[in-house]
Every structure is written in structure tokens, then in C-alpha cells.
Amino acid sequence: MKILLFVVALSALVVAQETVYQPGNGVALPQLVKEVKALYTQEAKDAHIEGTVVVRAVVKADGTVGEVTLERSLDPTYGLDDAAVQATKSWTFKPGTKDGKAVAVQVHIEHTFSLK
């Protein structure tokens, strides 16, 4: 059991050290493969909240989404900020590339909530 824990801890350390690139200067943006729409909470609808949540996400070299952080809040009270973060974590991408190799790339994503 101790050996397994060591291997898991070592794996996490390697992932944590993955270089995250900014798009541009030879770094190609990831391409969206699967988008999951953020759920519009009933409470936010009842409060007539509309607008855009902006998140910053790391698209890992395998095309999955890693760390997601809130850049611009719309609604911390009725759950739209959380809905945008959770939806983003479910997206998948064709990974970004640098020098022809898949790399982790930081992206900004907007989730727009509209009652129309």
C-alpha cells in the first residue's frame, strides 16, 4: 500500500510541474471537441440575472480541462458562477500544440446567460 501511495504522489507531482503555455508565439490554441452548456439555475432565472461569466482554464496536453478559475463573476449568489466553472470542467478539446507537440495551454472562456 505504501508503494502505491508513493506512485500516486509522484504522478501528481509530475502533473503539477507541467508547463502551461499562453496562446501565440508558436503556441496553437486548443480546438473545442465537446462543449457542455452551463446550467441556468432556476433561482437566477427568477432573479432575472443575465450576463457573462468569464473563466480561465488550463487545457491539458491530453485535451481535458485542468484548473479552472473565475475571472469575471456574474452571480455568486444564485449559482451561475459555479455553473460556468463546472460546465467548463466537462469540456474536451483537441489539445493546443507547440512545435508540433501537444502542450497545456491557458484559455479564457465566456459563458453567456440570457433569458431570451
Q: What is the pLDDT of residue 9?
A: 35
Contacts (Cβ under 8 Å, ≥6 apart) of 85: 55, 68, 70
Q: Which of 35, 33, 18, 37 is nearest to 105 (CA)?
A: 18
| Domains of the chain: residue spans and CATH | 20-113 (3.30.2420.10)
Structure letter (DSSP) for residue 80: H
For the stretch 75-108, pLDDT in tens is 999 999 999 999 999 999 999 999 999 999 999 9
The phi-psi region of residue 8 (left if phi > 0; otherwise alpha if psi is between -120 and 50; otherwise beta) is alpha
pLDDT tens, residue by residue, 24-78: 999 999 999 999 999 999 999 999 999 999 999 999 999 999 999 999 999 999 9
Angle at the Cα of 52 from the Cα atoms of 113 and 114, rounded to 5 degrees = 20
